[in-house]
């Protein structure tokens, strides 16, 4: 057994309960633990995230350099358009990226607390979506 095992990626938020609902719904997951200051979830694929209460948390203003990105999540999806509809329906928002370098089949979003994340097609599905 490994000496150290990865446990959770933890995102700070003013309202961790609200953020946990967003990611639980997005990842078809379940809440696994909740305490006064932290909520933990597990996605259907086993992804584990936690959301810690920080009343002074401010979202990064990515891609602006004066408030650099603090964390970045990537999610693989079968259908970018369907995933986008779900994200927006849950309270997320697209982040304008038309002038950024990189693959055009990536899409960047912000969750309700302002943390950015990227959707990328599952390898082998990118050509099908163009």
Is residue 14 included in any domain, yes or no? yes
Q: Are residues 93 and 110 in the same domain?
A: yes
Q: Are residues 70 and 39 in the same domain?
A: no
Peptide bond into 113 cis (omega under 30): no
CATH value at residue 31: 3.30.720.120
45-86: pLDDT as tens digits? 999 999 999 998 887 776 666 655 567 788 999 999 999 999
Q: Are residues 78 and 123 in the same domain?
A: yes
User: Residue 28 is part of which domain span?
Assistant: 7-55
Q: Are residues 68 and 99 in the same domain?
A: yes
| pLDDT for position 64 | 63
Q: Are residues 101 and 50 in the same domain?
A: no
Q: Are residues 51 and 62 in the same domain?
A: no
CATH value at residue 64: 3.10.180.10
4-16: pLDDT as tens digits? 666 788 999 999 9
Q: What's the pLDDT band for 102 if we cut at 50, 70, 90?
A: low
| pLDDT for position 127 | 47
Q: What's the pLDDT band for 104 if we cut at 50, 70, 90?
A: low
Torsion, CA 29, CA 94, CA 114, CA 77, rounded to 10:
30
Among 13-17, 21-25, 122-126, name the one with the lowest average pLDDT: 122-126
Q: What are phi and psi of 14, to 5 degrees?
A: -65, -40
Count of domains forming the chain: 2
Res. 24: pLDDT tops 70: yes
Q: Are residues 64 and 77 in the same domain?
A: yes
| pLDDT for position 73 | 86
**In this prediction, what percent of the chain has a pLDDT beyond 70?**
76
58-68: pLDDT as tens digits? 877 766 666 55
Is residue 28 included in any domain, yes or no? yes
């Amino acid at each position: 057994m490994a000496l150290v095992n990865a446990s959770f990626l933890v995102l700070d938020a003013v309202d961790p309960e609200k953020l946990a609902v967003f990611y639980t719904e997005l990842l078809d997951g379940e809440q696994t633990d909740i305490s006064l200051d932290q909520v933990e979830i597990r996605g259907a694929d086993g992804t584990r995230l936690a959301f810690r209460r920080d009343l002074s948390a401010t979202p990064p203003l990515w891609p602006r350099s004066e408030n650099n990105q603090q964390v970045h999540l990537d999610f693989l999806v079968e259908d970018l358009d369907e995933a986008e509809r779900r994200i927006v329906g849950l309270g997320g928002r697209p982040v304008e990226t038309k002038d950024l370098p990189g693959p055009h089949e990536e899409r960047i979003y912000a969750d309700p607390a302002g943390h950015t994340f990227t959707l990328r097609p599952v390898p082998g599905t990118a050509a099908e979506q163009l």
